[in-house]
Chains A and B, each alone.
Chain A
């Protein structure tokens, strides 16, 4: 799987939009971009994923650049409960092997400031 680069930490004021960047310049055509987060002492929680197009769900939006070499996760109105480590992962998915492993880096530690 391609490697990703994320800033080690970020702060965001409560109620503001949190924009978390991720660089994946070596991504392949069959690799999806996934975002997970991990709140202290819990298992990772799925947030969103995408292949080419921008995606939005009830938790966040994912913006993928046209060349797919970078993406941004947007939490539109950050709350204190969004304080967590956020992981950007690129992952192969093939019809034959199904959904393979996730390769986590060290992520971005996002702190929401009251």
Chain B
């Protein structure tokens, strides 16, 4: 079946602009995660959705970052007033939920470059 998809694959924007990054999870997965990865580092957690609600947003670095998942499927990560330090690969993952422990399936990522 289809995996996690992310659009766009690459985004170049100017400092100060607003960007939106989209994630389409695997159908039926109620849990959705956003991470970001800087060069040479492991992915860093940003936010976790269970259905439509953000269950854990402790990784969002500041109030310029916001994410939504209005219908419990597609999610959008929004970054306002972008800064050069926001340049990174933004990864989305989804998983099943419920009792037990389930693996996360990752998308290919969106490479964001802020000039």
In the complex, B85 has a CB within 8 A of chain A: no
CA distance A104 to B44 in the complex (A): 7
In the complex, A81 has a CB within 8 A of chain B: no
CA distance A63 to B99 in the complex (A): 23
Which chain B residue shows the least CB distance to A89? B42
Write the residues of chain B forming the contact surface with A, with a CB cutoff of 8 angstroms.
4, 31, 33, 35, 40-45, 48, 50, 55-56, 59, 91, 93, 95-109
Q: How many residues of A contact B (CB 8 A)?
A: 25
SS class, residues of chain B in contact with chain A: loop
Q: A102-B93, A106-B40, A106-B41 are in contact. List 7 more A-B contacts (CB 8 A).
A: A43-B108, A43-B109, A44-B93, A93-B101, A98-B50, A98-B55, A107-B42
Partner of B97, one of A44, A99, A101: A99
21 contacts between A and B (CB under 8 A): A42-B109, A43-B4, A43-B107, A43-B109, A44-B43, A45-B106, A93-B100, A98-B97, A98-B98, A99-B97, A99-B101, A99-B102, A100-B56, A101-B33, A102-B35, A102-B93, A104-B42, A105-B42, A106-B40, A106-B41, A107-B42
